[in-house]
Chains A and B, each alone.
Chain A
Amino acid sequence: MSYYFAIIGTLDNPLFEYEFGTAKQGGDGIARFAEQARHMNQFIVHSSLDIVEEVQWGSGQMYLKCIDRYYNNYVSCFMTGGNVKFLLLHAPSTPSTNTTRASTSIAANPTSPQTEEAIKQFFGEVYENWVKTIMNPFYNVNAEVKSPIFRSRVVAAGKKYL
Chain B
Amino acid sequence: MASSQPVKPPVASQSQTQRTSQPGLKYPSNGKSIYNRALNRSQKQELSQASFAYLFGEMVSYAQKRVTGIQDLEKRLNIQGHPVGLKLLDLLLYREPPRTQTRPLHIIALLQFITTTLWRHLFSRPADALEKSSNPDTPEEYMISDNEPLVNQYISVPKEMNQLNCAAYVAGIIEGACDGAGFAARVTAHSVGKGEEGELWPGKTVFLVKFQPEVVEREAFLGR
Contact = CB atoms under 8 A, between A and B. Distances in A.
Interface of A: 6, 8, 12-14, 17, 19, 42-43, 45-47, 49-50, 53, 56-57, 60-62, 79-83, 127-136, 140-141, 146-151, 153
Interface string B14-36: 10101111100001000001110
A45 B11 CA distance: 9
Contact of A79 (B1, B16, B33, B103): B103
5 contacts: A42-B10, A46-B10, A146-B22, A149-B33, A151-B18
A132 B37 CA distance: 8
Contacts of B68: none
A140 B87 CA distance: 10
Contacts of B2: 12, 49-50, 53
B194 interface: no
A19 B103 contact: no
Q: Is the contact region of chain B dominated by helix, strand, or loop, or is it mixed? A: loop
B22 A148 contact: yes
Contact of A151 (B19, B21, B222): B19
Given A50-B3, A81-B180, A146-B22, 17 more contacts: A43-B10, A47-B8, A50-B2, A53-B2, A80-B90, A81-B90, A81-B103, A82-B181, A127-B94, A131-B39, A131-B91, A132-B34, A132-B35, A132-B39, A135-B34, A148-B22, A151-B19
A62 B181 contact: no
Contacts of B16: 19
B83 interface: yes
* Interface residues on chain B, size class: 35 or more
Contacts of A129: 35
Given A61-B102, A81-B103, A141 B19 contact: no
A57 B219 CA distance: 10
Interface centre among A8, A13, A57 (most CB of B within 10 A): A57
B218 A57 contact: yes
Interface in B35-79: 35, 37, 39
A133 B104 CA distance: 22
A60 B105 contact: yes
B22 A128 contact: no
B86 interface: yes
B114 interface: no
A84 to B, nearest CB: 8
A128 B39 contact: yes
